[in-house]
Amino acid sequence: MNTYMPYTRKTILLLLFLCCSYSLFASTTRIDGLGVQDQSNTNLNAIDSLKKQLSSVEDDSLKASLYSQIAAQYLKYDSTVNKRERHTYQNEAISNTLSAIHHYSKYDDSVGLRNSFDVLAKVYHTQHKYIQAKWFIIQSNSISRILNDNPNIIASLLEMASIKADIKDYKLAVHDLNEALSISSKNHMPKQEADVQLHYALFYNVTKNTEKAAAAMKRYAAINDSIKRDNEARTLAKLKTSDSLQQVKKKVYMSSSDKKSFSTAMILSSSL
């Protein structure tokens, strides 16, 4: 089991202190919401609107959400072509997420903190800063375990496995994948189980084990086919249920109409 640092307020404050030097560096490359020419890659108008809302809000809980939304906009950096611009967006995502963490910690918002840790792990992983990425995804994993949130436990295990594979810590990467598979299978979570098989395939491709990679991809495809069939069966069952209800309603209506016609006929005949 992975060791982790509890996400107490003291820990968060320490985290912010440790990241302070990075934030200062990031601020030197910070961009204003309207200062980038290529608006096709990032919704800068949305960022500008969110920043205006942020400046007028006093509630810390609302500020946390706004900082997270701003970070999410900057996370669209993957669609940018310019490397320098992409790096600037990454710095913005980190800076705004750290600000969100500061506010989430005030209210012990576990989900907000967990989601923020996921964002930081993603960006640091992209930047090949594996120590930071690993630390943040472990924090995310620990919160998900406390919340007994199996889907996010699995998601964080898969991210951890990917990070460990990148630093060639293959033994521990497989351990994380195996645990993710165990949780998804035990709790009958086919979608997550398919994700695990896809990550097995990616892992075995990295480690040049083509036979196991192909087997994992075959299992991935089989699980997805099963999910598709189950969805189609449920949709068909709903349609049949809907048709049955319509038939019942029609019979009730016809029966009611017949009774009204019969009553009308009886009234007319008695008047003759």
Q: How far is Cα 35 from Cα 14, in angstroms, rounded to an integer?
A: 33
**Confidence band for 266, pLDDT divided at 50, 70 and 90:** low
Whether residues 188 and 76 fall in one domain: no
Q: Are 93 and 71 in contact (CB under 8 A)?
A: yes
Whether residues 178 and 131 fall in one domain: no
Predicted local distance difference test score (pLDDT) of residue 168:
96
The mean pLDDT of the chain is 82
The boundaries of the domain holding residue 168 are 162-231
In a domain, 184, yes or no: yes
Q: If you ran DSSP here, which 8-state letter would residue 37 be given?
A: S
In a domain, 110, yes or no: yes
Per the structure, the count of domains in the chain is 2
Q: Which two tokens stand for residue 215?
A: 């087997």
pLDDT tens column, 58-99: 887 789 999 999 999 998 876 666 888 888 899 999 999 999
Predicted local distance difference test score (pLDDT) of residue 147:
96
**Confidence band for 25, pLDDT divided at 50, 70 and 90:** very low
Whether residues 111 and 12 fall in one domain: yes
pTM: 0.73
Predicted local distance difference test score (pLDDT) of residue 8:
54
pLDDT (mean) for 48-58: 89
Predicted local distance difference test score (pLDDT) of residue 222:
96
pLDDT tens column, 184-228: 999 999 999 999 999 999 999 999 999 999 999 999 999 999 999
Whether residues 74 and 177 fall in one domain: no
Q: How far is Cα 233 from Cα 237, in angstroms, rounded to an integer?
A: 6
Q: Are 11 and 83 in contact (CB under 8 A)?
A: no
List helix spans (H) across 1-82: 9-28, 44-56, 60-74
Predicted local distance difference test score (pLDDT) of residue 24:
40
